[in-house]
Chains A and B, each alone.
Chain A
Amino acid sequence: MINFIIRNIWQRVVLLVFISIISHSVIHLAPGEPALVDPSNPRMKAEDIQRIRAAYHLDEPLHIQYIFWVRDLFTGELKSFKDNQPVLRKIWDRFLNSLPLFIVSMMIIWFLAFPVGIKAALNRNSIFDRVSTFLSYALISIPGFFLAYLLIIFMVKTFDVPVIGMRTFGLEDAPLLLKSMDRVWHLTLPAMISAVGGMAVLSRYVRSQMLEVIHQDYMRTARAKGLSEDQVIYRHGLRNALLPFITMFGLTIPGLIGGSVIFETIFAWPGMGRLGFEAILARDFPVILTLTFFSAILVLLGTLISDILYGVADPRIKF
C-alpha cells in the first residue's frame, strides 16, 4: 500500500514537471506578448517596451525563463506582470472566493443526482425515467450562459433578489443575519447553474450503475433470503453501485478552476476562473502558468485520492 502510494506520487511529480514545461512553451511560443497588449498606447515608447521585456526576463532564452519561473514560484517571489502583486497571494484570495461556490454546487450535484438516478433505474421505462432522461440530455445540451441569463431574469423578476456579484455593495455594516442572507442569495444562482451540467451527467451515471447492479446474482440471492426490498436495494445494491463514484469524486476537484470561467464572468464572481480569464486578456504569463500548474496539481491529486480510496473501499482490489 505504502509502496503503491509512493510510486504513484513519484510518477505524478514527473508528469507535473512535463506539464509545466509544455504549458510554459505553449504560452511563450504563441504570438502576443505582455508588452504588446496595448500597441496603440502612445505613451509606450520603444525603450519602455525594451525595459519591460528586460524586467520580465522576456529576452532570455525559453529554458532560462522556465528556470526563473520555477525559482520564483518556489521562493514565493513570483510577481504578476499586470500589477506586480505576488501571484500566490492573488490565487489564494481567489481560491477562497471560489471555494464556497464549488462546495455548494458539489453538494447540489451529489444530493440531487443520486435520488434521481436511483429512482430512474428502479422504475425503468416509467414516465419518471423518460422525463429525467430527456431533461438531463436537455440540460447537457443547453449553452450554459443562455440558461444563466434565463434564470437570472426569472429569479430577479419573481423573487426580486440580488444575484450578481458576491455581496451587495454597502451592506458591510448590516446586521449579521441580513448580511448572511445576502450572501446566500448571491451564492444560490451561480451554484445552481454550475451544478446543472454535473447533475445531469452524474444522474445518468448513477442510473446506469444501478441498472447494472440490479441484475447481479447477489441481488437475487438477497431477495431469495427474504430481505425487505429496501434492504436489498440500499444495503446490497447501492453500496456496490457506489464504488465507481469514488473515482468520480476525485475527478471533480479540478472543476474548481476549469469549469467556472463562464459562470464567474456572468455573475461577476471574483473566483479563480475569472482570474485566469483576466490574466489571459492581459497576457499575464506568470498568473496563467501558475494557474495551469495548480489545476494540473488538482487533477493529479484528485486521481491519486480516488485511486487510494478505491483500494480502501473495494476489498477486491489489491495493490
Chain B
Amino acid sequence: MNEQTADALPPSKGLFQERWAILKRNRMAYASFWFLIALFALAIMGKVLTQNIVIFDPKIVRLSEKFLPPLTPYTSKITAKEDAPVMGVYLLGTDELGRDVFARMMEGSFVSLTVGFVAVGISLTVGIFFGGLAGFYGRVKLGFITVDTLIMRFVDIMLCFPSFFLILTVVALLPPSIYNIMIVIGLTSWMGIARFVRAEFLSLRDQDFVVAAKSQAIPAWRIIFIHMVPNAIAPVLVSATIGVATAILTESSLSFLGFGVQPPDATWGNILADGKTFLFDAPWLTFIPGFTILFVVLAFNLCGEGLREAFNPKLRTTP
C-alpha cells in the first residue's frame, strides 16, 4: 500500500527460510546438519564402492594380514596382488580375518543408516496412521467405546512393555534377518509419534480450513493426508531425527547380545560387538566403530534438538 510501511517490515520469508535461519544460529546443530549430509554422501558412496563398483571389497579375507594397526602399508608377499587394499595402505587396519576395516566401515555406514531410517519410517507410518485415526475419528463410537479410547488404550498397553526386552524377545524368537530387526524396532517405537499426531489433530480438526474442506465434501482420506498431515508433520519429523539415533543405538545393543544384523552384512554395531573380543590386542577394532557410533548418534541428537528448537516457537530464546 504505502511504501513506508513496506520498507519498515522485513522482507517476508517462507516458513522454511525462517526456520533455517534459526537453525543456523545454533552452531552445534548447524555443524551436525552438514556432518550428517556428508555422512549420507559417504554411506551412498560406500554402498556403491563396496557392492556395485568394487573398489573397497569388505569381504576379502587375508589370513596372513590379521590385526594390522591403522595406516599399515601393504607389503605382504603372500597375499595376492588383486587382494591388495586401495592405495596400498590399510587406512583403518584389518580385523581378525584380515578384512579391511575401512571397507567394512564403508559398507556398514549404509546398512546402519538403512536400519535407522527404515525402522523410523515404519514407526512414522504406524504412528501417523493410528494417531491420525484417533485424532480424526476420535468421536466415532464403536459399540460402547470411542475410537479414540480404543486406540489410546492400545498405545498405553504398548507403552507398558519394557521396550528393549520386548525387542529382544521377538528378535531372538524370529529367524535372524536384517528386515526383522528393522520391523521390530519400528513396531515398538511408534507410540510417542501416535500420541504426538493425535494431539496435533485434536487441535487441527476444528480449525477453519478443515471445516471448509469438510463442507466441500472432500473425502476424508484427502482431508487427513493432504490437508491435516502436512500441518502436523513438522514436530513429528523432528522427533523422528532423534528416533534414527535411538534405532542405531538399539541395533548396536542387539549386536552386542548377538541378535543384531548377522554377518556377512556389516553394521557399525556388529563390527563393534565383534571387535570387543580383541580389545587388548587390536583396540582399533573397538574404538573406530565405537567412536563412529558416538559421533553419528551425537550429530543426530544435536541436529534433532536444533530442529526442535527452530520449529517450536516456545523454546526459542531470541525473537
Chain A residues within 8 Å of B, Cβ to Cβ: 15, 18-19, 22-23, 26-27, 30-32, 134, 137-138, 140-146, 149, 153, 254, 257-259, 261-262, 265, 273, 276-277, 280-281, 283, 288, 291-292, 295-296, 299-300
Contact = CB atoms under 8 A, between A and B. Distances in A.
Max count, chain B CB within 10 A of own CB: residue among A262, A280, A292, A300:
A280
Nearest to B173: A30
Nearest to A140: B301
Interface residues of B, number: 41
A120 to B, nearest CB: 14
A141 B173 contact: no
Contact of A141 (B153, B174, B294): B294
A149 B165 contact: no
B286 A146 contact: yes
A26 B184 CA distance: 12
Contact of A257 (B28, B159, B162, B249): B162
Interface class of chain A by DSSP: helix
Among B165, B272, B305, the one with the most A-chain Cβ atoms within 10 Å of its Cβ is: B165
Contacts of B157: 15, 18-19, 22
Contacts of B293: 141-143, 146
Given A137-B301, A300-B160, A27 B165 contact: no
B290 A143 contact: yes
B279 interface: yes
A273 B169 CA distance: 12
* Majority DSSP secondary structure for residues of B touching A: helix
A44 to B, nearest CB: 19
B143 interface: no
Contacts of A288: 169
Contact of B173 (A31, A261, A273): A31
A291 B162 CA distance: 10
3 closest pairs, A vs B, by CB? Answer: A258-B162, A141-B297, A30-B173
A292 B162 contact: yes
| Residue from B162, B163, B301 with most neighbouring chain A CB atoms (10 Å) | B162
B168 A280 contact: yes
Contacts of B175: 31
Given A15-B157, A19-B157, A146-B286, A295 B294 contact: no
B153 A149 contact: no
Contacts of A27: 169, 173
A265 B257 contact: yes
Contacts of B156: 15
Contact of A258 (B164, B249, B252, B269): B164
B172 interface: yes
Contacts of A30: 169-170, 173-174
A15 B153 contact: yes
B40 interface: no
B164 A261 contact: yes
A143 B294 contact: yes
24 contacts: A18-B153, A27-B169, A27-B173, A30-B169, A30-B170, A30-B173, A31-B175, A137-B305, A138-B298, A141-B245, A141-B293, A142-B293, A143-B269, A143-B272, A143-B290, A145-B273, A146-B294, A259-B162, A262-B253, A262-B256, A273-B165, A276-B165, A277-B257, A292-B169
